[in-house]
Amino acid sequence: MALNKSKALKAVLYARVSTEEQASRDNSIPAQIKAIKHFALNNNVEIISEYLDEGKSARTADRPQFQQMIRDAKKKDKAFSIIFVHKTDRFARNRADSVIYKSLLQRECGVDVISITENFDDSPTGKLLEGMMEVIAEFHSLNLAQEVMKGMKQKASEGIYVGRTPFGYSLNQTTKKLEINKDEAKTVKKIYELYAKGNSFASIKQTLNLAQILTRESKLWDSSAIGRILKNPVYIGQYTWNKTKRSTNSQKNPNEWITIEDAHKAIIEQNLFAKVQQVLNSKRTMKGPSVKSPYLLSSIIKCGHCGHNMIGEKKKHISGKTYIRYVCGNYLNHKMCFYNFVHKEAIENIVFENIRNIIKTGKVDSSQVVVTQSDTSKSEIALLESQLKKVKQKFQKQLEAFEAEIISLEELQQAKERVLLEEVEMQEQLKNLKKKQSRENLGIDVKTHFDSMDEIIKENDPKIIKLWLKERIYRIEVFNKSDIEIQYRLPW
């Protein structure tokens, strides 16, 4: 397409770099931006916005900034009529996507996609050449993916670690093999030992967080991270690669796996690992909560008339049938109030059904929620505030390095931008934590708080289930068998 230099045009630029290309200086996003802006300046075109996808493949259109650009192009009040890309393959390496999106942009939005390094005019020859370049780009992408996979398989078969370095290990940059990270390995051992002693994922998480033992990213632990560590054979020195499909995250046929024993030093002994796997497998086969003891709601279930705790009572009927109930303790112990009771199984079923409904719908009446603040939340806020102070001190150190002529003005500016970004992210996290004390998104917050219910039920331990309920239910008031009010607790 030929640009009309006599008319002031407005454009946006789209730049992308895939994970494989990130180390390439020629293909870097700053290099693409610089070339596009230079081209726009020479052609009397004003760049009004930038859309950048870092580490994203162009084989699919599932790129956040790309999709945002398409949404903006569809707006009636958009200010641009051109999208500049450095090369055709930056826009799409999938021929179908390229045709669909270019057609949509041109016909429905009045927006042209222009490659600044490939001169395609509007003639039939130009269109043919553009189509050929797109087909070549798609072939290059698919072929590159195959070659990358082949290379990764070869490395994995030699014991060279491919992928994200697991917690507890560091990657030796010379040998490309795993080495034990002593500090992180202590945490891994602690997790295994606690679980082997009967602690649940939830209680291990709480133990680590309250002790200020954080993840590699300096974040609090969650149950899923604990589970991943406990199930990973990397900690007994085994390296397994190619287990899952990247596109769907589903497990591949075991015949396709590459498994190497003694690929690196183990953190966990074989017998401890085997014991943990045995416990994990046994819990996976258990069905529902085993209520041998107990009254799961004791201390949180109250008589709606006098406010006293309701306590468990087994009572045998003249028919011989035994009834298990929660009864007003004020009546049982002091003969005050009256015989207000509810059947144990019925009220516990009601509570679990209510929780399941919240998980399913993400909705809850705000009058049913009591917002409190747990020690874990307080720890998280204190930690973030401490880290924020350290981040603010970082730039001062960079400024001192600049004054001592250790770094350049450009490096100082980059450091300032980086530190500012860290500060903004932490401020946002703090804001969100404190915002949780308000009533915004209350249903979603309650849902998130209850999402671990099935995992806790699988623990098959009444004590753990009871503790889990106590952390999430503030009060249950029983006025009669059919008039029951539940108030939920949020530990923000």
Query: Which of 85-99, 135-149, 150-164, 312-326 has the lowest average pLDDT?
Result: 135-149
Better-scored residue on pLDDT, 263 or 283:
263
Is the pLDDT score of 185 beyond 90? yes
Q: Give 360-416 pLDDT, tens digit per residue.
A: 887 777 666 665 544 445 556 666 777 777 776 766 776 766 666 666 777 677 777
Is the pLDDT score of 178 beyond 50? yes
- Give the confidence band of 469 by pLDDT, cuts at 50, 70, 90: confident
DSSP 8-class letter at 244: B
CA distance 34 to 44: 16
Q: Judge whether 266 and 237 are in contact, CB under 8 Å.
A: yes
Find the helix packing angle between 201-210 and 182-196, rounded to 10°. 140
Q: Among positive and negative, which fits the CA dihedral 368, 373, 376, 380?
A: positive
Q: Give 241-254 pLDDT, tens digit per residue.
A: 666 655 445 566 66
Choose among 124, 466, 157: nearest CA to 293.
466
The pLDDT value given to residue 127: 54
Tokens 């509810």 correspond to 342
Question: Three-state SS for 82?
Answer: strand
Tokens 């009058």 correspond to 367
**Mean pLDDT value across residues 288-313:** 77
The string of DSSP codes covering 421-462 is: HHHHHHHHHHHHHHHTTSSTTHHHHHHHHHTTHHHHHHT--H
- How many residues in the chain? 492
pTM greater than the 0.85 cutoff: no
Exposed/middle/buried for residue 90 (C-beta within 10 Å: 0-12, 13-18, 19+): buried
CA distance 479 to 466: 22
Q: Give 31-65 pLDDT, tens digit per residue.
A: 889 999 999 998 889 999 999 987 655 444 557 88
- Give the confidence band of 145 by pLDDT, cuts at 50, 70, 90: very low
> Quick one: how far is CA 385 from the chain centroid?
22
Better-scored residue on pLDDT, 396 or 290:
396
Max CA pair span of the chain: 101
| For the chain, percent of residues with pLDDT exceeding 90 | 15
**Mean pLDDT value across residues 144-168:** 64
